[in-house]
Amino acid sequence: MAVLLAKRLGALRAFSFPVSVLPVLIATALVRPLNQWDWGVLMASVLGVVLLHAAGNLFNDYFDFRSGVDRKLDGDGSRPGRFLVRDELKPKEVLVEALICLLLALPVGIYLMVRCGPSLLWFAGAAGFGLYCYTGPPLKLKYRALGELLIFLVFGPLLMLGAGFAQAGSMQWNVLLLSVPVGLATTAILAANNIRDQQEDQVAGIVTLAQLVGVRALRWLYILLVVGCVFGLAGLAVVKVGPRVLVCAPLGLMLLIKPITHVWQSKRLADIDVRTARFESVLLMFVLVSLLFQQTPS
């Protein structure tokens, strides 16, 4: 029982949650000083985002497996999840787990709408619909080379504008600006995943961006996304949208030395998505701490 529970928790891919939770905290720090945070709304926002993100991860695994996209490959021992491929979980179990996450998110969403107004439904509904449609029928946007665009919109502008709206009751332009480099960083995780899985996706007959523009172009896109993210943060600091210390953001590229080297040399790295997620998590934590420090009276 304990082993099965561990596998079901592992299927949630909790390592990816910081890339959705930290943007919520960053948006909150942008619109309100720490001593004015609505902690009830914030905790509900974080819980709701985690549940939707978990459901999205589970739907992605379920539909990728059902579509024949995920299959056993040599050298993938370090890849996270893959419980369906290894027959350690059944498809029905993963699907039920995804639905449970959505059901748990429902009362959280109702609470937020009561506290923040029905307009918040548009943000939550669009995010949940987008995460399902990433691989879920009938749209299956990942299989139509639209995965990167969808992930950028959901985990960048949509997520941060929704979190900022929940706290401030309106959309803030500085949240929108900062959501762009945040969205680029999250999109880089998907680009890394598609680079690694290019041959697997080709065999499955789906059309990701790697198949559409070529894996060489996608490798360049990956590098541009991570570089654009850190220099975007630095640029916002220069124009005083973010804390001045964000000019140091390009130093975060040191965390991606191995992935960037492998991408540059056209080598496959099994855990490149995990490494990229770790890079974004550290970078966003730096942004959050910088914002909170900026609010501290001197």
CATH number at residue 129: 1.10.600
Is 298 contained in some domain? no
Tell me the pLDDT band of 85, cut-offs 50, 70 and 90.
confident
| Cα torsion angle, 245, 176, 108, 187, sign | negative
Q: Reduced to 3 DSSP states, what percent helix, strand and coil does the chain have, rounded to the nearest 5?
A: 75, 0, 25
- Residue 183 and residue 149: Cα distance in Å, rounded? 10
Tell me the pLDDT band of 268, cut-offs 50, 70 and 90.
confident
- Residue 118: CB partners within 8 Å, gap ≥ 6? none
* Residue 108: its H or E element: helix 91-116
3 has pLDDT over 70? no
- Which of the residue ranges 98-102, 193-197, 227-231, 278-282 would you say has the lowest mean pLDDT? 193-197
297 has pLDDT over 70? no
State the residue range of the domain holding 181: 2-293
- Residue 218 and residue 19: Cα distance in Å, rounded? 21
DSSP state of 16: G
* 189-198 mean pLDDT: 89
Mean pLDDT, the chain, integer:
89
Is 257 contained in some domain? yes
The backbone torsions φ and ψ at residue 69, rounded to the nearest 5 degrees and listed phi first, read -75, -45
pLDDT in the model for residue 298: 43
The backbone torsions φ and ψ at residue 144, rounded to the nearest 5 degrees and listed phi first, read -115, 20
**What percent of the chain is predicted at pLDDT more than 70?**
93
Rounded to two decimals, the pTM is 0.91
What total of structural domains would you count in the chain? 1
Is 184 contained in some domain? yes
* 217-240 mean pLDDT: 94
* 263-274 mean pLDDT: 86
- Structure token digits, residue 167: 């706290």
Is 168 contained in some domain? yes
